[in-house]
């Protein structure tokens, strides 16, 4: 039986949306929900207000307080505008950059946001069409803006859209601005508070001039132009999976000197419906099916894919049997950082103040690589805003040369402050040429890293729990893990538990130490005697709880050991899953 109090509450909220302040399309959608005897959609659309969190907004598109629409986007933009006017009151003119991806309604939401900013007396640099997320970050810094937004739901299914907020350094907002913006957004309780009527004189359309500056800066990241010149015609398949990467990634690859980029015509079509895939996520093997098929047809040596807003990179490589396999996010980061650090060493570019950054859930093999190369490594929370925070703290003191996270994100430069598939793919193509120059395949490069620095295998599992009930289940799962900490994983004793919510590390003898992090986070980590690591955290942007499992301590001394090492690791991961109850 439905909760009568909840139904009464959502009905009252929905009836407000029948008022004259809302457009006809919205009123009709809300009326249909109210008239439907099945109240599921009504409850899901109104049981809460779509939360403007530290990463902005993300949700299913539709009418309602818990949906992405012009009113929830409008409230977010009005709140951000109010916060900017308070923080930069002394400036004669505040400015923001506004971008968007390929998703349905993204352009509409971007134009409405531009109108609201301009109605509040804020100068707007609005991109003329869809652009990669990292270019929005670049534009904020290049144009001297105080903030920026990008309308995107990254790699989420087609029903979703989102709203990312950036600060003046081009990074997504963190303390104190995150909570400050949230407070202002939460004050917008009536659509009459939102200034929808824009001032065209304060909206400037930008496009190709920023593209050129962005691509020229990315080209400066190339470390082996001589190798590219020798192997410029290496066949590489690239797909944007219907997204924004189609605008700049082929251009950047050409700018680097590559002359044999093979397209996937069906997926060059820009579409928020993502017609050729179930999920436009380069982490999903099915998303690369068409690209791999194209690679087989053309005898390509590398497959690359970007997600809809072109900040994530996925790759596929051929193994020693000629089969195409997907590299995981950890392997992508390892390949990138191994190449950068090795090339810096070989070319005498190290000055002793270089550093890299990874997130706490990313493979510990990266730490080993950095230590062996005498390069500092910093750990941070999941999300590129935390990598950007480390870059900002060390700006002018140490030199950032790369950073990444297991969720298929990498950033090679400091003139952008969010993960960047445009630069990452340009460098990945360069790595393919570099490997070829050394008589190696990309698959062998991955194996070489394991032989040199120790084998590891990672597996991510996301348990999806949708809606109000799902959110409650995720809370209960985290509570159970805290109250009943695991003693063993895969037969190996747990020797350390790190709880980033209490910022404590507890060893197997009961000794407790404090963790040095900038704030708390709802993450648990287990470390075993064999060097394995398991991390558990709820997603901040999706209705799921995530498990990150890393197996270590399995010997690998030559290429012939690789298959056996993977087999042993898979068995151990299955044991981890059983212990975790997933």
48-53 LR contacts (CB < 8 Å, sep 24+): 48/468, 52/76, 52/79, 52/163, 52/181, 52/182, 52/185, 52/186, 53/182, 53/540
CB 180, CB 138: distance < 8 Å: no
Burial letters 512-551, b for 16+ CB under 10 A, else e:
eeeeebeeebbbbbbbbebbbbbbbbbeebbbbbbbbbbb
As annotated, the active-site residues are 154
CA-based nearest residue to 261, from 297, 233, 299, 225: 233
Distance CA 352, CA 55 (A): 34
Region of 563 please: left (phi>0), alpha (psi -120 to 50) or beta. Answer: alpha
Site of tokens 């899953």: 577
Distance CA 128, CA 142 (A): 17
Region of 145 please: left (phi>0), alpha (psi -120 to 50) or beta. Answer: beta
Omega into 565 within 30° of 0, i.e. cis?
no
Kind and range of the H or E element at 571?
A: helix 562-580
Distance CA 359, CA 31 (A): 46
């Amino acid at each position: 039986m439905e909760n009568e109090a909840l139904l009464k509450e959502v009905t009252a909220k929905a009836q407000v949306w029948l008022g004259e302040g809302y457009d006809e399309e919205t009123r009709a959608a809300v009326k249909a929900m109210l008239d439907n005897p099945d109240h599921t959609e009504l409850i899901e659309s109104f049981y809460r207000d779509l939360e403007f969190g530290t990463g902005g907004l993300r949700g299913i598109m539709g009418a309602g307080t818990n949906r992405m629409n012009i009113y929830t986007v409008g409230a977010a933009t009005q709140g951000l505008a109010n916060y900017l006017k308070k923080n930069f009151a002394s400036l004669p003119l505040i400015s923001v950059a506004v971008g968007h991806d390929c998703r349905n309604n993204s352009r509409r939401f971007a134009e409405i946001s531009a109108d609201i900013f301009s109605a509040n007396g804020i100068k707007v640099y609005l991109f003329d069409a869809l652009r990669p997320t990292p270019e929005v970050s670049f534009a904020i810094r290049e144009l001297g803006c105080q903030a920026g937004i990008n309308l995107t739901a990254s790699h989420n299914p087609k029903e979703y859209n989102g709203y990312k907020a950036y600060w003046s350094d081009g990074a997504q907002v963190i303390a104190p601005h995150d909570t400050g913006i949230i407070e202002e957004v939460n004050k917008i309780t009536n659509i009459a508070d939102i200034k929808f009527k824009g001032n065209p004189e304060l909206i400037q359309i930008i496009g190709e001039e920023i593209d050129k500056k962005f691509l020229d800066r990315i080209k400066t990241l190339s470390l082996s132009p001589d190798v590219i010149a020798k192997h410029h015609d290496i066949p590489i398949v690239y797909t944007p999976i219907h997204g924004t990467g189609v605008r700049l990634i082929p251009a950047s690859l050409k700018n680097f000197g590559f002359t044999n980029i093979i397209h996937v015509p069906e997926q060059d079509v820009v579409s928020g419906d993502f017609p050729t895939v179930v999920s436009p996520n380069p982490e999903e093997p099915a998303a690369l099916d068409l690209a791999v098929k194209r690679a087989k047809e053309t005898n390509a040596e590398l497959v690359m894919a970007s997600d809809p807003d072109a900040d994530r990179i996925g790759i596929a490589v051929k193994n020693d049997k000629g089969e195409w396999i997907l590299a995981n996010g950890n392997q992508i980061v390892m390949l990138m950082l191994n190449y950068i650090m090795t090339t810096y060493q070989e070319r005498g570019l190290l000055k002793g103040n270089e550093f890299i950054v990874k997130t706490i859930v990313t493979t510990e093999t990266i730490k080993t690589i950095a230590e062996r190369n005498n390069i500092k490594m910093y750990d941070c929370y999941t999300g590129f805003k935390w990598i950007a925070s480390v870059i900002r703290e060390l700006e002018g003191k140490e030199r950032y040369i790369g950073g990444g996270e297991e969720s298929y994100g990498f950033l090679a430069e400091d003139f952008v402050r969010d993960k960047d598939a445009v630069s990452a793919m340009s460098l990945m193509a360069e790595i393919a040429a570099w490997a070829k120059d050394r008589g190696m395949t990309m698959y062998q490069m991955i194996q070489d890293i394991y032989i040199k620095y120790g084998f590891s295998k990672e597996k991510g599992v996301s348990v999806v729990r949708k809606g109000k009930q799902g959110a409650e289940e995720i809370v209960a799962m985290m509570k159970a893990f805290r109250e009943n900490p695991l003693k063993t994983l895969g037969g190996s004793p747990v020797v350390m538990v790190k709880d980033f919510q209490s910022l404590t590390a507890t060893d197997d003898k009961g000794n407790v130490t404090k963790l040095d992090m900038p704030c708390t986070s709802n993450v648990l980590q287990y470390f075993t005697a064999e060097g394995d690591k398991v991390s558990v955290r709820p997603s901040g942007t999706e209705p799921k709880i995530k498990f990150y499992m890393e197996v270590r301590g399995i010997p690998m001394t030559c290429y012939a050991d690789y298959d056996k090492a993977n087999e042993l690791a898979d068995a151990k991961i299955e044991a981890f899953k059983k212990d975790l109850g997933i």
